[in-house]
Amino acid sequence: MNDIIIMVLSTLGALYILVASVGVLRMPDFYLRLSVTVKAATLGIGLTLAAAALFFGETAVTTKLVAIILFLLITAPVAAHMIGRAAYFTGTKLWKHTNFDELKGQYNEETHELSSKAPSPSTEDKSN
């Protein structure tokens, strides 16, 4: 039983990392690429580490792996957020099929302040 769980977890983990690397190649723009890579890789690494914890079955190994997974879950979204924000600031283009972009024009170019007011109706439709 334990063996089967380990097999399922490690296979799923490897598959998710594979999907993430395919995503880096196939996704059409930077934001979609970032969004796929960070999440699928986090889940893949988490599943692989869980399989390792079950395989060794020792308290010392398990506590370390739990700590690694916890810190991964805390730090990965922060990194993704900072990279995405920097990309938007430097003007990385969105995919041409993007439906709408409500962040457009909300930044103050000089002070880098971000306003929270609703956009005026003229900019709400497809603005790409």
Partner 1 sequence: MIKQFLMNLILTFIWVGLTGSFTFLDFLFGFLMSYFILMLIFRGNASSKYFDRVPKIIIFSGYFLKELFRANMQVAYDLVTPNYFMKPGIVRYPLTAETDFEINMLVNIVSLTPGTLILDVSDDKKVLYIHVTYINDKEEFISHLREGFEKKLLAILR
Rounded-to-integer distance, Cα 128 and Cα 35, Å? 21
φ, ψ (nearest 5 deg) of residue 126: -60, 110
Of the candidate residues 26, 67, 70, 71, the single one contacting partner 1 (CB under 8 A): 26
101 belongs to the binding site for partner 1 (CB under 8 A):
yes
Please calculate the CA angle 38-56-61 and round it to the nearest 5 degrees: 65
Cβ atoms of residues 56 and 18 within 8 Å: no
Of the candidate residues 2, 3, 74, 121, the single one contacting partner 1 (CB under 8 A): 74
- The least distance separating partner 1 from the CB of residue 77, rounded to whole angstroms, comes to 3
- The least distance separating partner 1 from the CB of residue 4, rounded to whole angstroms, comes to 18
The structure tokens listed for 99 are: 């439906």
The structure tokens listed for 85 are: 């924000």
Q: Which is nearer to partner 1, 7 or 92 (CB)?
A: 92
For residue 68, the tally of other CB atoms under 10 A from its CB is 15
Q: Return the biggest CA–CA distance within the chain.
A: 61
* Eight-state DSSP code of residue 103: T
Tell me, residue by residue from 40 to 59, as one string, x for binding to partner 1 by CB under 8 A and - for no binding: x-xx---------------x
Q: Which is nearer to partner 1, 39 or 64 (CB)?
A: 39
User: Which residues make up the interface to partner 1 (CB under 8 A)?
Assistant: 15-16, 19, 22-23, 26-29, 31-32, 34-36, 38-40, 42-43, 59, 62, 73-74, 76-78, 80-81, 84-85, 88, 94-95, 97-104, 106, 113-116, 118-119
